[in-house]
Amino acid sequence: MSAICVLFGVLCSGTIHGQERTVLTLEKNWKFHKGDVENATSTSFDDSKWETVTVPHDWAIKGPFDKEIDKQTVAIVQNGEEVATEKTGRTGALPYIGIGWYRNQFAIPNFDSEKKVILLFEGAMSEPEIFLNGQKIGSWNYGYSYFYFDITEHIRANQKNILAVKLTNRELSSRWYPGAGLYRNVRVITKNKESIDQWGTFITTPFITSDLAKVNIKTKVSGENLKMVTTIKDADGNTVAVDSTQAIFGDAFEQNIAVNNPRLWSPETPYLYSATSQLYVEDILKDEISTRFGIRKIKYEAEKGFSLNDSVIKFKGVCLHHDLGPIGTAVNTSALRRQLQILKDMGANAIRSAHNMPSLEQLELCDEMGFMFLAESFDEWAKPKVDNGYHRYFESDAEKDIVNLVQATRNHPSIVMWSSGNEVPDQWGSDGAKRAKWLQDIFHREDPTRPVTVGMDQVQATMASGFGAVLDIPGLNYRVNLYEDAYKAFPQGMILGSETASTVSSRGIYKFPVVEAKMKMYDDLQSSSYDLEACSWSNIPDEDFVLQDDKPWVIGEFVWTGFDYLGEPTPYDTKWPSRSSYFGINDLAGLPKDRFYLYRSRWNTKEETLHMLPHWNWEGREGEITPVFVYTNYDSAELFVNGKSMGIQRKSMNSPTARYRLMWMDVKYEPGTIKVVAFDAEGNPVAEKETHTAGTPYKLVLEADRTQLSADGKDLAFVTVSVVDKNGVPCPSATNQLKFKVKGAGSYKAAANGDATSLEMFHLPTMKLFSGKLVVLVQPDESPGNITLEVSGKGLKTAKINLTSYNKL
Ligand code: GAL
């Protein structure tokens, strides 16, 4: 096997093992060509001149940005627009449109008539057409789906098999940057004819007490005279139960296995068990797979809401698109893990995959790190939002896309709810409710344990048509003023904030005067970080907090969005060069905006939050009103400007903002120091923070999220670069052009500064600071060693940081 791994791919080290099956992940030595090519499917085709790439791969992320790419002249009806306008940057202005070809080779050692081979794609953007050894194997339309083909008949024994994949991305097919190419893993699974079916295992935990859990395992298999032996192991690998059965029902075994004193899965205690399923014929082991699962109980009850393991909790969630900022859509576990670490620190407990299937890597991390998950399937049903959207396939493909979503992911304890759609225009008209029911029934058939929601924005229409009443869980996108009406009109006795806020801001940018505003635009194409600006259809976070806190029947919220993403630069979607969103709680580089601390002050109940804004470098604003906001979990605080008290502010019920923020609205700017002192409930000073006016940029400071990395060619260190003055005070408006150099056992991967208007390319080793900061991504090679990142800028002291990569961390 190892020779094959080295030559043609990498053996998967994930959840699947055993000699009876091999999983070859096709990562390296892919050949890629942008544009259509004749005969690219042929086994004799010469692809030596094509670019060599590693998969997962996003062919468009290296740009360049171009305002003409997928320029959409449309009226976005769901945003209330009536007149078409020219939208540049709606899908990120990156070159994802067009055809792309990938080719690779692999061999199946010792292939014989007893073997079965499966070719699995965990996502391919988009409309993949698959060819093996010159023959068309099949195709799939939806770029977000996981899908597979049985390629046994097409395999050439003991010689190379030539795989060719054609992908087609059309204009007007998306509302955000979808990426392009084989952006998720491709695997070749070889097993015996007698084996466990692909995604054939379904583990549920229907009975749980503190002494005992019953684990129900259904396993679909192929073959005759079979025996299934299942071993359940705890997180330390100790066997806790073994069960053997020959009783097969149709094509599936069903086992109920007792686990004593079960340790329950929750966001605070993400405890995972594993089930090893061994399939025998007589006493010969034919197949073996291992599946991780959690033991946990979920319940949704009218008036009471959602409970996990019998405790009522609310979703403190964020919506996420799938791109990872500067590295685009090519799935990367380190980048996903970093996102989740940031969200964990904020106190978030849930993620919604907007508006499509999540990566399997993200689900695994959510299982491990403790996040609940709302897994979504579609942004369109039969009625279009964009001309070439999913509606083209809805009738023919919706069922199989949902089946694959559920079957591939249903063993993840993190998933606690499905969503069949987001703001589908089918909310209007009588057919919509029927479609909602049809889709929901498919989810129920495939997984009877989790409810289904739809993110609804046309709330009045769904109240009138019965659409909302059909759903297991009515999800409202925005429309805070309609929660009460919807709760009364719908029969479920609960409302989910399936999408909330859509507040817009640019990290470190503050605008005056400080007032609440909708669709506010400024000449620099940035939005204010006083966190008072939202869209015409949306609202500031505080208005959601009121509903979450005051209404027991509101079961939580999913904020739009946890991180900025490429495309959808509202409110600047007609203003070039805006090319990425302003909605993120964190920017495109993953750096927290002020809003991060507003959510943290409410969501992270274990740690102190005391955060002051704006920065205090306002040359030219001397004597002018420059309000100061504090986001904190304390109820009151006193503000000082250069030692002078500006008075004590206390949270109050006077308005949503007064309830969740401390605001000193009349402060006049003078350079120096602002200081906030927070008080506990008894009025004792317990914490303080200061912000100083910075001098001129002097030196660079580097801080890595991790300095110890895996020498696997995939891991990433995220190094935050800031510029400080002579006294070490951060310079909040610095925009210095920086250069990056990586030496040793790694390379420069990308950089991002969070500026939604920047046209600098992420993969080039130079970028400007934005609001005094940016982030550099460094990737280790496959051999371990020391890595040094050096960052320099004109007139600034150069900075270095050392990282180390290891064979096994
Ligand atoms: C919602 C939509 C999201 C995003 C958001 C921006 O209506 O579901 O995909 O467009 O608005 O506010």
* Mean pLDDT, residues 510-523: 98
Query: 69 lies in a domain?
Result: no
Which residue has the least CA distance to atom 12 on ligand 1?
502
pLDDT tops 70 at residue 154: yes
Q: How many A from CA of 596 to the centre of ligand 1? A: 19
Say whether pLDDT at 17 is over 50: no
pLDDT in tens, 565-605: 999 999 999 999 999 999 999 999 999 999 999 999 999 99
pLDDT at 110: 87
Mean pLDDT of all residues in 685-707: 98
Distance 687 CA to ligand 1 centre (A): 38
pLDDT of 205 higher than 90: yes
Domain boundary among 652, 675, 692: 692
pLDDT in tens, 729-755: 999 999 999 999 999 999 999 999 999
Region 694-699 average pLDDT? 97
Q: Average of pLDDT values for 105-123?
A: 95
Q: How confident is the model at residue 247 (pLDDT cuts 50, 70, 90)?
A: very high
Domain boundary among 541, 576, 603: 603
Binned at pLDDT 50, 70 and 90, residue 231 comes out as very high
Task: Tell whether 660 is covered by a domain.
Answer: yes
Pocket test for ligand 1, best of 175, 352, 422, 499 (most atoms within 8 A of CB): 499
User: Catalytic site residue 688?
Assistant: no
Scored b (16 or more CB within 10 A) or e, 412-433 reads bbbbbbbbbbbbbbbbeeeebb
Last residue of a domain, one of 673, 692, 711: 692
Tell me, what's the pLDDT at 12? 34
Q: Among residues 20, 361, 364, 423, which one is catalytic? A: 423
Same domain flag for 540 and 658: no
Mean of all residue pLDDT scores within the chain: 96
CATH number for the domain spanning 418: value is: 3.20.20.80
Catalytic residue among 361, 376, 380, 499: 499
Q: How many helices (H) and strands (E) in the chain?
A: 11, 50
Is 121 within the bounds of a domain?
yes
Residue 630 lies in a domain: yes
Residue nearest to atom 11 of ligand 1 (CA): 502
| 684, 703: one domain | no
- Are residues 668 and 785 part of one domain? no
Q: Which of 681, 697, 709 is nearest to 785 (CA)?
A: 709
Same domain, 680 and 631: yes
User: Which atom of ligand 1 approaches the CA of 423 most closely?
Assistant: 8
**Taking the complete model, does pTM exceed 0.95, yes or no?**
yes
* Per-residue pLDDT at 369 exceeds 90: yes
pLDDT of 64: 98
Whether residue 91 contacts residue 9, with contact meaning beta carbons closer than 8 Å, is answered with no
pLDDT at residue number 803: 98
User: What is the atom index within ligand 1 of the atom nearest the CA of 568?
Assistant: 10
Range of the domain at 135: 27-60+96-184
CATH number for the domain including 149? 2.60.120.260
Q: Which residues of 513-542 are buried (b: 16+ CB within 10 A; e: fewer)?
A: ebebbeebeeeebbbbbbbbbbbebbbbbb
Among 356, 560, 564, residue to substitute to test ligand 1 (most atoms within 8 Å of Cβ): 560
Q: pLDDT digits over 765-792, tens only?
A: 999 999 999 999 999 999 999 999 999 9
Residue 503 lies in a domain: yes
CA distance 25 to 262: 34
Q: Of 423, 478, 519, which is best to mutate to test ligand 1, by the most ligand atoms within 8 angstroms of its C-beta?
A: 423
Please state the rounded mean pLDDT for residues 450-458: 98
Q: Are residues 585 and 647 in the same domain?
A: no
Task: Examine the domain organization and report whether 174 and 200 are in the same domain.
Answer: no
What token pair was written down for 262?
Answer: 């079960």
pLDDT at 2: 30
pLDDT mean over 346-370:
98
Residues 534 and 665 in one domain: no
Alpha carbon of 206 to ligand 1 centroid (Å): 36
Categorize the per-residue pLDDT at 16 as very low, low, confident or very high, splitting at 50, 70 and 90: very low
What separation in Å is there between the alpha carbon of 670 and the centre of ligand 1? 40
Counting from 1 in the atom list of ligand 1, the atom nearest the Cα of 354 is: 9
Whether residue 499 lies in the annotated active site: yes
Query: Does 85 fall in a domain?
Result: no
Nearest atom, ligand 1, residue 502 CA: 12
% the chain with pLDDT above 90: 96
Expressed in angstroms and rounded, the spacing between residue 659 Cα and the centre of ligand 1 is: 26
> Residue 354, SS3?
coil
Q: How far is the CA of 502 from the centre of ligand 1 (A)?
A: 8
Centre of ligand 1 to C-alpha 327, Å, is 23
Inter-residue long-range contacts of 638-647, CB under 8 Å, 24+ positions, other chains counted: 638/676, 638/677, 638/679, 639/664, 639/667, 639/674, 639/675, 639/676, 640/673, 640/674, 640/675, 640/676, 640/677, 641/667, 641/668, 641/670, 641/672, 641/673, 641/674, 642/670, 642/672, 642/673, 642/674, 643/673
Single-letter amino acid, residue 366: C
Reported as a pLDDT band with limits 50, 70 and 90, residue 4 is: very low
pLDDT bucket at 758, cuts 50 / 70 / 90: very high
Position 43 pLDDT exceeds 80: yes
Whose alpha carbon is nearest atom 6 of ligand 1?
Answer: 502
Probe target for ligand 1 pocket from 502, 504, 539, 565, with the most ligand atoms within 8 Å of CB: 502
CA-581 nearest atom, ligand 1: 6
Whether residue 80 lies inside any domain: the answer is: no
Sign of CA dihedral 2, 238, 208, 221: positive
User: What is the CA(717)–ligand 1 centre distance, in A?
Assistant: 31
pLDDT reported for residue 780: 98
Mean pLDDT of 639-643: 98
Query: Which of the four pLDDT bands, split at 50, 70 and 90, describes residue 158?
Result: confident
H, E, C per residue of 89-135: CCCCCCCCCEEEEEEEEECCCCCCCCEEEEEEECCCECCCEEEECCE
pLDDT at 3 over 60: no
pLDDT at 470 over 90: yes
**Alpha helices by DSSP H, 477-614:** 483-489, 541-550, 594-603
Give the model's pLDDT for residue 715: 98
> CB 782: neighbour CB atoms within 10 A?
12
Judge if 409 and 525 occupy the same domain: yes
- The CATH number for 762's domain is 2.60.40.10
Q: What is the largest CA-CA distance in the chain?
A: 87
With cut-offs at 50, 70 and 90, classify the pLDDT of residue 78. confident
* Closest atom of ligand 1 relative to the 538 alpha carbon: 12
Coil, helix or strand for 543? Answer: helix
Query: What is the CA(78)–ligand 1 centre distance, in A?
Result: 9
pLDDT band at 120 (very low <50, low <70, confident <90, very high): very high
pLDDT band for position 6 (50/70/90)?
very low
Alpha carbon distances (Å) from 429 to 75, 183, 293, 371, 489? 20, 36, 41, 36, 18
Do 774 and 630 fall into the same domain?
A: no
SS3 content of the chain, % helix, strand, coil (to 5): 15, 40, 45
Helices (H), 471-521: 483-489
Separation CA 626–CA 647 (nearest Å): 15
Asked whether residue 711 falls in the same domain as residue 784, the answer is yes
Has residue 804 got a pLDDT over 90?
A: yes
- Tell me how far the alpha carbon of residue 180 lies from the centroid of ligand 1, in angstroms: 21
343 with 449, same domain: the answer is: yes
Co-location of 627 and 590 in the same domain: no
Q: What span, in angstroms and rounded, lies between the C-alpha atoms of 124 and 56?
A: 9
| Residue 558 near residue 501, CB atoms below 8 Å | no
Q: What is the pLDDT of residues 393-452, one digit of tens each?
A: 999 999 999 999 999 999 999 999 999 999 999 999 889 999 999 999 999 999 999 999
Q: Which residue has the tokens 């259904």?
A: 218
Cα→Cα distances 577→86, 502, 767, 773, Å: 13, 21, 16, 20
The pLDDT-based confidence of 51 (bands split at 50, 70, 90) is: very high
Report yes or no on 534 lying in a domain: yes
Report the pocket of ligand 1 as residue ranges, CB < 6 Å: 78, 354, 422-423, 457, 477, 499, 502, 535, 538, 560, 568, 570
Question: How far does residue 545's CA lie from ligand 1's centre (Å)?
Answer: 19
Query: Which atom from ligand 1 is nearest to the alpha carbon of 78?
Result: 7
Tell me how many domains the chain contains: 5
Alpha carbons within 13 A on the beta-carbon side of 766: 5
> How confident is the model at residue 15, as a pLDDT?
36
Helix (H) or strand (E) run with residue 416 in it: strand 415-422
